[in-house]
């Protein structure tokens, strides 16, 4: 394949990163026992395991991390995670027929998991730019605007955590970060990505983790690091091992999103953290 058609194919595949969407009926003033809030990083396993009870635009899965966490703890879950969600969609409707994710919270809520912020930081747009610039052999992957976009979510993220505590005052709040996406130097499965740009992409996800972890710690929430457990399981790892889909996604058809193994792996990191810190009665 010549460089130009190859780059065009990469662009088409990566547009799935920017595509998307949100949540369902209110559980009442008392709230659900366990509420999962977040975007596609928590919601979807792509074309696999559709949750038919969820709004179609949310692409929510029956085998996502919140479902696995709920099963592991024996909790009743109201999963409000939704593809393309931004922090503002926690408190407002993400689209017609989709309730604000916060509607599930209440006095009876014991656990809240939060995985959101990547869409606010424009991660998909910047990752696509890295692949396109590498595929066409022109331009640069990352600039100061990417760092600014990531740092810019800190205030709204902190406000969201404060709102969660106000709406669900008894709840334990768990914030999980982003796993390892790209190893040093990249690999052929990350089509069009120059080796030097692999480091830029991973550095951006690491920076996003730092921003979110800082907000969680300042608020008194529990931050769960998923990067360490995902070493060797990035998008360059073999099928069945990797937690992250590469550009040509083979399991879920959604590039740069968690595979089913990734959803299970993240759940396996979150569960001990919850058990160690305990849940309110």
Q: Which residues make Cβ contacts (< 8 Å) with residue 95, sequence separation at least 6?
A: 21, 22, 55, 57
Angle among Cα 38, 207, 183 to the nearest 5 degrees reads: 95
Using DSSP, state whether 277 is helix, strand or coil. Answer: helix
Q: What is the rounded distance in angstroms from the CA atom of residue 253 to the CA atom of residue 51?
A: 17
CA distances from 88 to 92, 151, 225, 261, 278 (A): 6, 16, 24, 29, 29
- String of DSSP letters for 112-149: EEEE--TTTTTHHHHHHHHHHHHHHT-S-S--HHHHHH
Phi, psi of 79 (to 5 degrees): -85, 110
- Strands across the sheet with 34-38, in order? 77-79, 34-38, 111-115, 172-176, 222-224
Q: Which of 24, 131, 200, 257 is catalytic?
A: 257
257 tagged catalytic: yes
- String of DSSP letters for 181-219: ---TT--TTSTT--HHHHHHHHHHHHHHHHHHHHHHHHH
Q: What is the rounded distance in angstroms from the CA atom of residue 109 to the CA atom of residue 124?
A: 32
CA distances from 153 to 63, 101, 149 (A): 28, 18, 7
40 tagged catalytic: yes
Using DSSP, state whether 155 is helix, strand or coil. Answer: helix
Q: Which of 40, 61, 133, 230 is catalytic?
A: 40
Active-site positions?
40, 257
């Amino acid at each position: 394949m010549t460089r130009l058609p190859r780059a065009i194919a990469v662009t088409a595949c990566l547009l799935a990163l920017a595509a998307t969407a949100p949540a369902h009926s209110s559980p009442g003033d008392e709230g659900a026992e366990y509420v999962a809030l977040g975007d596609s990083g928590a919601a979807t396993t792509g074309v696999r395991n559709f949750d038919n009870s969820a709004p179609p635009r949310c692409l929510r899965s029956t085998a996502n991390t919140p479902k696995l966490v709920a099963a592991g703890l024996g909790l009743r879950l109201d999963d409000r995670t939704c593809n393309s969600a931004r922090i503002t969609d926690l408190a407002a409707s993400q689209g017609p027929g989709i309730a604000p994710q916060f509607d599930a919270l209440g006095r009876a809520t014991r656990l809240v998991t939060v995985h959101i912020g990547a869409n606010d930081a424009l991660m998909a747009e910047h990752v696509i730019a890295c692949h396109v610039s590498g595929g066409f052999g022109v331009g640069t992957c990352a600039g100061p605007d990417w760092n600014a976009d990531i740092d810019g979510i800190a205030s709204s993220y902190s406000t969201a955590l404060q709102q969660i505590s106000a709406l669900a005052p008894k709840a334990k709040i768990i914030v999980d970060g982003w796993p390892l996406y790209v190893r040093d130097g990249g690999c052929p499965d990350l089509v069009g990505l120059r080796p030097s740009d692999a480091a830029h992409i991973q550095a951006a996800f690491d920076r996003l983790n730092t921003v979110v972890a800082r907000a969680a710690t300042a608020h008194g929430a529990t931050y769960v690091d998923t990067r360490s457990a995902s070493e060797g399981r990035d998008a360059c790892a073999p099928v069945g091992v990797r937690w992250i889909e590469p550009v040509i996604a083979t399991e879920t058809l959604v590039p740069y999103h968690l595979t089913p193994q990734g959803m299970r792996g993240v759940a396996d990191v979150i569960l001990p953290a919850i058990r160690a810190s305990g849940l309110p009665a």
